[in-house]
A and B are shown apart, each in its own frame.
Chain A
């Protein structure tokens, strides 16, 4: 009996250990470029990625590759390549043996603060997760590194989880989702019994506007502080003109350029304008916009949350599971009301 117990314990330990090893993601780092306009901060260009890498390895069990170990980041003159764009990521990471590539910029601010812009690119995809953090350089630099490493460890996972704020209790929510009728009532029920007030957004209709496919257009989302976005590159759009083009043609491509500016390159501004109206559309303003996308079998969902007051993207999480809409909704509420956890 005793042997059997020991066997079970050992098997469980082996299973857990092998499981941990199997789930170790690998992360490669690029340099963090100094955008302060002050060369005194150049030393941070190497220190920052190395610090994040060390924390991810030691605290979150990631396999890491430091910038100096990536040949594609080193130029022919033996200096470091820093001026790449999102459109170059696929090619740049072709020969990098890591699941994710992380790079960014930093800028010194007043009162010894620093603004860090971090980009997480999953190799082989067309998406980048971008987020910003502000911290103090001397007194809280370790805390800042820990926070960013924790964010990276959650974003660099299947669930692409990002959290920088929890929704407050009793707040008023505008929910957009791809379920309707009695199912929408079951979703509302879970929020209402937890004390949240629900704006009539979408619920003011008998039929839903968004179907299972259309909701995925909201999977990528932008806020003023963070975005999970498709890589776009102005170079992809060639709107050629010259002395050969007439007035009508010129007017036509100018119109097209404006469309791309408004809907792709400067989309965040366009969206913020409409979200402001959206927030104020009721007589009592909503606090948060919550977008929940259910899969067609209603066993899995993702959530995105924007704080209406400052247009910040505050929560993303995918792969929220449950056996029914109420169960998934309960798990969505847990996601919206709890902070980040160490997923390793």
Chain B
């Protein structure tokens, strides 16, 4: 009886430890260098089903934000920036890919494409600012319970990140409550 009792205690201790560790690994964090005024012109980027997108956008609109319609899923398209002609030429003509110079060339092509991709995104953001008169981009990723939802705000005037938050989604959270939570912190309400 005593050994069973000890065993139970050990099992409970292990389970509690696992629970504490799993909880502590999903810590929230927040950093804000500016508070957005409620009438700021924002574009919200979120990769979700349309009904969830709408729920998020409506929550921002209700708080007074001037939300611009930006379709997140095709904001940055890789086909526009990945010029693969160099890769194609090399793969047609070089058979020995163990040659150091060829490997170096492949690596450098990849690096240039990353730089080009970032350049193109920056150009897109500039367009969003100048043509659509957007002041801030709000990126949201909403996750279910036991995962971490996160938000990021980019100031399109300075092209700097003004706000970040990781928020461990609670058991009773939904799209509305998570969005409300982020808006509260972004606007400093």
Contact = CB atoms under 8 A, between A and B. Distances in A.
B104 A274 contact: no
Contacts of B183: none
Nearest to B103: A230
A277 B116 CA distance: 9
Contact of A281 (B46, B76, B111, B122): B122
Contact of B33 (A192, A205, A210, A281): A192
A193 B29 CA distance: 11
A283 B125 CA distance: 11
Given A197-B160, A220-B107, A260 B101 contact: yes
Contact of B111 (A197, A218, A229, A264): A218
A264 B141 contact: no
Interface of B is mostly: helix
B154 A200 contact: yes
Given A189-B31, A230-B100, 9 more contacts: A198-B160, A201-B122, A204-B121, A234-B101, A259-B86, A264-B104, A270-B112, A281-B123, A283-B159
Interface string A307-342: 000000000000000000000000000000000000
Interface in B5-46: 29, 31, 33, 45-46
A138 interface: no
B132 interface: no
A274 B108 contact: no
B59 interface: no
Contact of A182 (B72, B109, B157, B166): B166
Contact of A231 (B100, B109, B116, B118): B100
A217 B115 contact: no
Contacts of A186: 29, 166
Interface in A8-54: none
The number of chain A residues touching the other chain, given as a range, is 35 or more
B33 to A, nearest CB: 7
Contact of B31 (A192, A217, A278, A282): A192
Nearest to B25: A324
Contacts of A203: 152, 154, 161
A233 B112 contact: no
B109 A263 contact: yes
Contact of B114 (A181, A185, A210, A252): A210
A259 B164 contact: no
A263 B105 contact: yes
19 contacts: A174-B118, A188-B164, A192-B164, A193-B31, A198-B160, A201-B118, A202-B118, A204-B137, A207-B47, A209-B114, A232-B101, A236-B99, A255-B89, A263-B108, A267-B108, A270-B108, A277-B119, A278-B118, A281-B118
Given A185-B29, A200-B125, A284-B159, A274 B112 contact: yes
A126 interface: yes
Contact of A278 (B89, B115, B125): B115
A204 B139 contact: yes
Interface string A277-292: 1100111100000000
A275 interface: yes
A198 B111 CA distance: 21
A172 interface: yes
Contacts of B121: 204-205
Contacts of A200: 122, 125, 137, 154, 159-161
B79 to A, nearest CB: 14
Which 10 A-B residue pairings sit nearest by Cβ, starting from the closest? A282-B159, A281-B122, A232-B101, A217-B107, A200-B154, A182-B148, A182-B150, A230-B104, A185-B164, A263-B108
A185 B165 contact: yes
A126 B139 CA distance: 42
Nearest to A126: B100
A1 interface: no
B157 A283 contact: yes
A237 interface: yes
Among the interface residues A200, A229, A260, which one has the most CB atoms of the partner chain B within 10 A? A200
Contacts of B137: 200, 204
A217 B150 contact: no
A214 interface: yes
Given A185-B165, A274-B119, A284 B125 contact: no
A256 interface: yes
A198 B105 contact: no
